[in-house]
Structure 1
Amino acid sequence: MRPKICGGLAGVACGGAAVAVGHLAAMAFAREASPVLAVAAVVVDATPEPVKHFAIETFGIYDKVVLLAGIAVILAGLSILVGILALTHPVAGPAALLAMGVVGAAAALSRPASEPWWALPSVAGTAAAMFVFIYLYRPAAPVSEGGPGTTVDRRKLLIAGAGVGAAGVAGGLLSTAFTPDGGRPQVRLPDPASTAADHKTFTDPGIAPFHTPNADFYRVDTALTVPRLDIADYRLRIGGRVDNPLEFEYRDLLDMRLIERDLTLTCVSNQVGGTLVGNARWLGVPLEDLLALARPHEGADQVVGHSADGWTCGTPTSVCIDGRDAILAVAMNGEPLPYEHGFPVRMIVPGLYGYCSATKWLVELELSTFEDFDAYWVRRGWAPTAPVKVSSRIDTPKPLAELSAGTRTVAGVAWAQQRGIRGVRVRVDDGPWTATELAPVMGTDTWRQWRWQWDATPGRHRLEVLAVTHDDETQTAERKDTFPDGSTGRHSLVVTVR
């Protein structure tokens, strides 16, 4: 094996030891203190808005997987370079490993919920990497111009590789085996907590069900690791510009007046015809009740939701107390909130996009003003508040589908929270608009299923849909990007009929 190849593999072994041991050590403290996860979180915060926008639009719910994979590739590349450089410049190896450890520790300590001991996993990882470096590299004959060089013991390289691999597997297994459940399996929800729809729904093949299953509900947030809050220690604080600061335990919320509502949530990054939208049955405490107890000051026009991972969300105080079903949800589709969707408590305010209304892993509500505080996404250029646009989507047939001639079902969903959908129309090849059949709906804050029986004739056809609200707003044809306050435009697709 050539010396440079050995050096590169040795560098990977050192970098792998740092990552594996650092992650293992983080299991004893906090998963977020893992060096790689901490650095990734800093990258998320520091990434320019256009790049984040591109990542969400391109990769959707897999954006975090792509980010972590990218960091792994970069780390592997740097490790290879350091390993090769250490063959002629021995000091470069320990110096680079120490620098990586400092970066990991600094990233961990920069996180909003960090404690001083969050630096320890990076320290442990650096120590492991140093040990592997000393184990693998040994002095060699002087090189012509670079001074004393080193060489890699190939037999030890195999041993080190096996050890690092075992540590990595152990870290993965421990991450799964010792992930805390936060007490969720023991939660017993009070009545009402149900999942059955209160009206007829369409079940045509391909159409989105009225209630989106929890496992299929979209997830967009900045958390690289899903927070696992323990209900035994959970506290919800309400403070800031209020006369009566409050603090609640999880059980306190379950014992309060609860309401159950079907509510549609939409991500502001949802493209026309996109899937970053879902409808679920939520059980929760009316936000209006809690704010009435806290008694906000006059002029406190913003409710800032603070997530356990440090993310913030700003919601107009007025929409939290205007009679709409704004809630702090504790259940989703008849079960305690899934971890990925905010267990134990999340905020939902219908009518606004999620980035300014739907804080997950909620630990604090702070009454403030829009003048005094910009929430996470507002700092990155998004609008301070963003009402949901009138939207509709064709679920079936799929784009570029090949169909047989005859009667075919065209179906989908439409939504306009706080206004409701009065009608949905479709047309073929820029022909006349035709009204569709609508499923009954219980309120204005859910999406509405629609369907139409199309007499499909042979050829290539373009299908287009639009929605009309109860207050007679017709969905615009003007195409607009999601930034800074949501996309507009009508969904269309092309199919071929044989």
Structure 2
Amino acid sequence: ITAAAAAAAAAGGRALGSVRNSVEAARRSLRLPAPASPAPVLPAGLEAPVDGVVPWLTPNPDFYRIDTALSVPQLDVDTWELRVHGMVEEEFTLTFDDLLAEDLIERYITLTCVSNPVGGNLVGNAKWLGYPLRDLLRRARPLRGADMVLSTSSDGFSASTPLPVLQDERDAMLAVAMNDEPLPLEHGYPVRMVVPGLYGYVSATKWVVDLEVTRFADRTSYWTDRGWSEKGPIKTMARVEVPRSFGKVAAGTVQIGGTAWSQTRGIARVEVSVDDGRWEEVTLAAEASVDTWRQWHHEITVGPGSHTLRARATDPAGGLQTEERADPVPNGASGWQSVQFTAT
């Protein structure tokens, strides 16, 4: 029995490997259309001039991955379909070719996971190519009373996104490409959702195959069934990346830097405090858009010994980042990051 089970497992592994190789080969050979609306030209000065600050554009292999899939779905673009239904005047199904034939947009957008702790790395910035969800919903024509879109992945994961968010002027999309290449398998190939301003658990469904226009009162989703909040607007956050926590620096003048984000609102100011001293405003790098993170840098002077550096951000709409500490559950972590380091 053990030998038979081992043989079956080996055969299953070979079969899965063959499918993955086939899907990956199809992905590599996929030719995507040029966007009808290309990404805006990036301004100079997006990167903070401090060694150790993360790249402004996150490479695909370094982009965080959080999902519920036990194994990465292997979807064939020739058979992939997206069903649009529910409280709409027109139900329809899109094939992958249908999607590519639409007017696609290209945008830089920062995504953030609701599980990201204060100062954490579950956040990344990429260039996305996709079909605006507001255009898709305009075709479907939601009925009066609908207030949510329940998106479902091929593996059964679901997310509940407020309908108005997908109908306003933000660039929410069904993405087919990431940083100038078809979506990596781990990041939702062939199609995923990308929605600026919301944590991924209510918006960023990967391997998406179903969109149901419905109501929060009638339907729930994967994480809301597990105690997380229905709506997940991203909180304003500043992160210290240099110096590293518990790192060592030379005493004297020290270059510090990091990143701040507040998608759909932007970052107006970042301030730092050393050893509970006065707050000092730092230099902000250029801003690509309110939907992307923004880097910052500053110069401080410290003597030998242990020090604590804190950072906080201000966004134009919501004001100063809250100091109140909160865990990720149920709607995202909050608080000011503190980094301890030693000067020698």
TM category (shorter chain) comes to over 0.9
Amino acid at match of 1:24: A
Quick check: 1:304 aligned with 2:150?
yes
Aligned residue among 339, 350, 360 for 2:206: 360
Query: In 2, distance between residues paired with 1:195 and 1:175?
Result: 40
Amino acid at match of 1:482: P
Query: In 1, distance between residues paired with 2:41 and 2:32?
Result: 16
After TM superposition, give the deviation of residue 405 of structure 1 in Å: 1.5
After TM superposition, give the deviation of residue 180 of structure 1 in Å: 2.9
Quick check: 1:18 aligned with 2:5?
yes
Higher relative contact order by CA 8 Å / sep ≥ 6: 1 or 2?
A: 2
| Aligned residue number for residue 186 of structure 1 | 29
Q: 1:198 to 1:183 in 2, by over 3 A?
A: farther
TM-score by structure 2 length?
0.94
RMSD of aligned Cα (Å)? 1.9
Query: In 2, distance between residues paired with 1:268 and 1:473?
Result: 20
Aligned residue among 153, 169, 175 for 1:329: 175
After TM superposition, give the deviation of residue 456 of structure 1 in Å: 2.6
CA distances 1:247-293 after superposition (whole Å, capped 9, x unpaired): 11112211211111111111110000000011111111110000000
Contact 1:182–1:231 (8 Å) recurs in 2: no
Quick check: 1:294 aligned with 2:130?
no
| Aligned residue number for residue 280 of structure 2 | 434
After TM superposition, give the deviation of residue 409 of structure 1 in Å: 1.2
Q: What's the secondary structure of 2:24's corresponding residue? A: coil
Quick check: 1:391 aligned with 2:274?
no
Query: In 2, distance between residues paired with 1:474 and 1:283?
Result: 32
Query: In 2, distance between residues paired with 1:457 and 1:408?
Result: 10
Contact 1:195–1:333 (8 Å) recurs in 2: no
Query: In 2, distance between residues paired with 1:464 and 1:265?
Result: 23
Q: What's the secondary structure of 1:218's corresponding residue? A: coil
Quick check: 1:200 aligned with 2:45?
yes
CA distances 1:201-240 after superposition (whole Å, capped 9, x unpaired): 2252110111111000000000111111111111111111
| Aligned residue number for residue 449 of structure 1 | 295
Query: In 1, distance between residues paired with 2:343 and 2:329?
Result: 36
Query: In 2, distance between residues paired with 1:413 and 1:24?
Result: 47
After TM superposition, give the deviation of residue 345 of structure 1 in Å: 0.7
| Aligned residue number for residue 280 of structure 1 | 126
The count of corresponding residues between Structure 1 and Structure 2 is 341
After TM superposition, give the deviation of residue 414 of structure 1 in Å: 0.5
Q: What's the secondary structure of 1:181's corresponding residue? A: helix
| Aligned residue number for residue 307 of structure 2 | 461
Q: Larger helix proportion, structure 1 or 2? A: 1
Contact 1:199–1:442 (8 Å) recurs in 2: no
After TM superposition, give the deviation of residue 15 of structure 1 in Å: 4.5
| Aligned residue number for residue 105 of structure 1 | none
Q: 1:284 to 1:180 in 2, by over 3 A?
A: closer
Quick check: 1:497 aligned with 2:340?
no
| Aligned residue number for residue 252 of structure 2 | 406
Aligned residue among 74, 78, 81 for 1:235: 81
CA distances 1:133-185 after superposition (whole Å, capped 9, x unpaired): xxxxxxxxxxxxxxxxxxxxxxxxxxxxxxxxxxxxxxxxx568755327211
Contact 1:287–1:321 (8 Å) recurs in 2: yes
Q: 1:196 to 1:405 in 2, by over 3 A?
A: farther
Quick check: 1:382 aligned with 2:228?
yes
Amino acid at match of 1:377: W
Q: What's the secondary structure of 2:319's corresponding residue? A: coil
Q: 1:15 to 1:372 in 2, by over 3 A?
A: farther
Amino acid at match of 1:261: R
Instruction: List gaps (5 residues or longer) in structure 2.
Output: none
After TM superposition, give the deviation of residue 432 of structure 1 in Å: 0.4
CA distances 1:61-92 after superposition (whole Å, capped 9, x unpaired): xxxxxxxxxxxxxxxxxxxxxxxxxxxxxxxx
Query: In 1, distance between residues paired with 2:6 and 2:210?
Result: 33
Contact 1:182–1:228 (8 Å) recurs in 2: no
Q: 1:182 to 1:362 in 2, by over 3 A?
A: farther
* Structure number, greater radius of gyration: 1
After TM superposition, give the deviation of residue 196 of structure 1 in Å: 7.8
Contact 2:108–2:125 (8 Å) recurs in 1: yes
After TM superposition, give the deviation of residue 392 of structure 1 in Å: 1.1
After TM superposition, give the deviation of residue 378 of structure 1 in Å: 0.6
After TM superposition, list the pairs within 5 Å mapping 1:14-413 onto structure 2.
15=2, 17-22=4-9, 24-25=11-12, 28=15, 31=16, 174=17, 178=21, 180-181=23-24, 183-192=26-35, 197-202=42-47, 203-413=49-259
TM-score by structure 1 length?
0.66
Q: Larger strand proportion, structure 1 or 2? A: 2
Q: What's the secondary structure of 2:176's corresponding residue? A: strand
After TM superposition, give the deviation of residue 27 of structure 1 in Å: 5.2
Query: In 2, distance between residues paired with 1:210 and 1:276?
Result: 14
Query: In 1, distance between residues paired with 2:19 and 2:122?
Result: 27
After TM superposition, give the deviation of residue 24 of structure 1 in Å: 1.6
Instruction: List gaps (5 residues or longer) in structure 1.
Output: 1-13, 32-173
- Give % identity: 47
Query: In 2, distance between residues paired with 1:368 and 1:15?
Result: 48
Contact 1:194–1:333 (8 Å) recurs in 2: no
Q: What's the secondary structure of 1:460's corresponding residue? A: strand
Amino acid at match of 1:314: S
After TM superposition, give the deviation of residue 22 of structure 1 in Å: 3.4
Amino acid at match of 2:145: G
